[in-house]
Structure 1
Amino acid sequence: MTEEIVTLVVGGKKLAGFQEVNVTRSMEQAAITFGLKATNPSWHEDAWELRLGALVELYTNGDLLCRGYIDRYEADHGEGGQHEVRVSGRSKAADAIDCPPAKHKTGRVEGKTLVDVAKEFDEFGIGYEADVPLKPIPKVQRYPTDSVHETLEREARAQGLMLMGKPDGGVLITRAGSKRHAGALVEGQPPIKRFGVSFSAEGKFSEVTAKAQRALGTSAKDLRQEVKEYDPEVGRYRPLVVFLEGDGTEEDLKTRAQWERLRRQGTSTSIPITVTTWRDADGLLWEPGRLMAIKLPSERVDQDMTLSSVTFTQNHQGTIAVTTWVDPRSHGGKKPKGKSDKAYDAGKGLLE
């Protein structure tokens, strides 16, 4: 396995020798999070630059893990010269998550795709791009108290899209399953250290009713739009009502209802796998949204799954990655190849 050497760069200085490193990427999060701990006394003065929201870059063996800002700095001093520094932060997208845009004159954008809407509101220099086709949105009106991210996420839900943080600090507008990780994760074989399965019924509903009202028109159909999406696996009556974000057609409403069901499937059924490497068989760092073959016979899993999240961890116990895998359709992908038990099946996807 590759030995990962993590380096933090701040103000042109390189800091290394961490006793603990944690970096988390997720399809669910527009910002990457990180945390570091060091006890090396020589770190003391160099680490001072980290105290006031410093811009940093975190690398492992030359590959960028995260470009972002320090959110929190803590230093502890004890007897005998003991010294510990702990820092944590998020990628640059944190500003879009925390702050409403102040410079846009109207808070309204018309006839543009979501990535172009993002660029109009991006006064923080976050950087947005998309790797899936996008259609123009008739109008996007920002609520005065909403952050940039809240505005974009609302529109993303309506189109069945996800906002994922990138190592360079930007945000990718995406769906799962357009790329693959090399190799496979197979029970009883390296690099699997441990694995499990997780099923939860708390967030699932037997039927999802999406409602809306057209901005123009006075007919009963315009005033009372409604589409239902069913989850037969729930087995009892558990209804949920959601509302389409903004104006939309019946097809948009259908997408919203289906997306709600799929996303809830992704949070309720998952496969956590701890591996002893930060990289796939070709040496690529684990990247959320990519497909991989997962074979766990003891839990009746044999299919392509999508990486939902990964936490890169390094401490006194070694270097591991905690990965979580889901049916690709729950992140907007296509029906996967394989023959797993039906309990892992997310049902009809957006692209089917």
Structure 2
Amino acid sequence: MKKNVVTLKVDKGEFQYQITGWTRLNITRGIERIPNSFDLHMSEKVPDLDFIEVSEGDKCRVYIGDNLVLTGYVDRWIPIVSDNQHILQVVGRGLCQDLVDCSAVYKGMQFVNMTAESIAKSLCEDFGITVNAEVETGSVTVQNINLGETPEAIISRVSRVAQVLFYEDENGNLVLSRERNDIVRGSLVQGVNVESATYVRSMDQRYSDYIVVIPNAQLTTDVTDGVSIGYYTVIDQSVPRYRPIYIIPEDGDAGFVTAEKRAIWECNRRYARSNMVRVTVTGWRDVEGNLYKPNTQIQVNLPKLKVVMKNWLIGEVTYRMDETGTRCDLLVMPIGAFTPEPIIPYKLPQDIGAALGVGQ
């Protein structure tokens, strides 16, 4: 079917190559990974391979039918020659790969009184990457850049402060978002479109008591409303035995409002991540012909696994093709599994804040 033909379009100056005929491939997208990636193989005879001048580092786009699924670069161009055939393998990743591979460069090595969106834009602009913020991102007082630190590491840190997810879209843009309410039409149904499913239910990463502690609050009573030490405890009644965990946040907050949020977040997120389903479905599209994609909700109905009529979130999608056909591997988890960690930096003393221009 033409709507599932995978095309690699490679920009080569004023020329553009469009390569189809792939016989084996993997294309992976997710909301907890940058960049997206692809691995394409052509194992049949390729008589015109000599005329395809594609090089590692070339900018490219990957389409499934008319749907763009990845914009990035060719990392590896691997032609293999035998007596009777040419074999071609192309491996690449999305534009956001440079945020993971390279070091961050920013004058002053410090961000002051900027939003997570503006910090991300400052880090991405040198790499030609657009930042799309789908939600409001709060202001971050001070963030220092450690020499050699990657842009991805800094964006990860400020995204937790802003409580947003960050991931790469099909255009190679960096997206700042949260769990979406978009719902996939149709369901993942045992015996209908689900070829195989694995339900991992675990207890090893869950705890009965989540205790968030800010031990150095006694040193900063001027910014914690006079409280010398603070903690907040959430109890998970579904954990059958006593399993406490103390959590020391990277940052604190006046009044310890975030300590409460952090404890609840830790409990809910660990529960959600202890209930994950990996599903292999026939084909790459839902009942309306739309590609499965990350950060969308889908109904899961797997009675034999005791997951019945639940709306869960797609966290990762792999479009896969080989000699046996086209399949899609989905990682789905309960809503809340991808909620970002709540962190609020220490409120700076007024004199320091004034010197840095915070709040101006």
What is the aligned partner in structure 2 of residue 44 from structure 1?
Answer: 49
Aligned counterparts of 1:248 and 1:48: Cα–Cα separation in 2: 56
1:304 paired to 2:311: yes
Gaps of 5+ in 1: 334-348
TM-score after normalising by structure 2: 0.82
Identity of aligned residues (%): 24
Stretch of structure 1 that moved more, 16-25 or 280-289: 280-289
1:95 is aligned, of 76, 94, 98, to 98
Contact 1:143 1:151 in 2 (8 A): no
1:125 is aligned, of 105, 124, 128, to 128
1:248 paired to 2:261: no
Q: Kindly tell me: are residues 170 and 46 of structure 1, through their superposed partners in 2, closer, same or farther at Cα, counting changes over 3 Å?
A: farther
Stretch of structure 1 that moved more, 267-276 or 5-14: 267-276
What is the aligned partner in structure 2 of residue 286 from structure 1?
Answer: 292
- 3-state SS of the aligned residue for 2:152? helix
Q: Kindly tell me: are residues 77 and 197 of structure 1, through their superposed partners in 2, closer, same or farther at Cα, counting changes over 3 Å?
A: same
Contact 1:157 1:259 in 2 (8 A): no
Alignment of 1:339-350 (within 5 A): none
Contact 1:154 1:245 in 2 (8 A): no
Contact 2:103 2:149 in 1 (8 A): yes
1:268-317 CA distance string (max 9 Å, x none): 21112211121222222112111122222222222111111110011111
1:198 paired to 2:188: no
Stretch of structure 1 that moved more, 259-268 or 105-114: 259-268
What is the aligned partner in structure 1 of residue 9 from structure 2?
Answer: 9
- 3-state SS of the aligned residue for 2:54? helix
What is the aligned partner in structure 2 of residue 136 from structure 1?
Answer: 139
What is the aligned partner in structure 1 of residue 349 from structure 2?
Answer: none
1:202-247 CA distance string (max 9 Å, x none): 3333344444457993458677453344433333344444443445
C-alpha deviation, 1:327, in angstroms: 0.6
Contact 2:47 2:86 in 1 (8 A): no
Alignment of 1:20-169 (within 5 A): 20-39=24-43, 40-42=45-47, 44-50=49-55, 52-78=56-82, 80-102=83-105, 104-122=106-124, 123-169=126-172
Pair member with larger Rg: 2
What is the aligned partner in structure 1 of residue 239 from structure 2?
Answer: 234
Aligned counterparts of 1:128 and 1:100: Cα–Cα separation in 2: 18
Give the AA of the match of 1:278: W
1:217 is aligned, of 216, 220, 229, to 220
Gaps of 5+ in 2: 343-360
Stretch of structure 1 that moved more, 143-152 or 242-251: 242-251
Contact 2:252 2:259 in 1 (8 A): no
1:326 paired to 2:337: no
Q: Give the RMSD, CA atoms, in angstroms.
A: 2.8
Q: Kindly tell me: are residues 124 and 224 of structure 1, through their superposed partners in 2, closer, same or farther at Cα, counting changes over 3 Å?
A: farther
C-alpha deviation, 1:139, in angstroms: 2.2
Stretch of structure 1 that moved more, 134-143 or 41-50: 41-50
* Residue correspondences, number: 331
- 3-state SS of the aligned residue for 1:319? strand
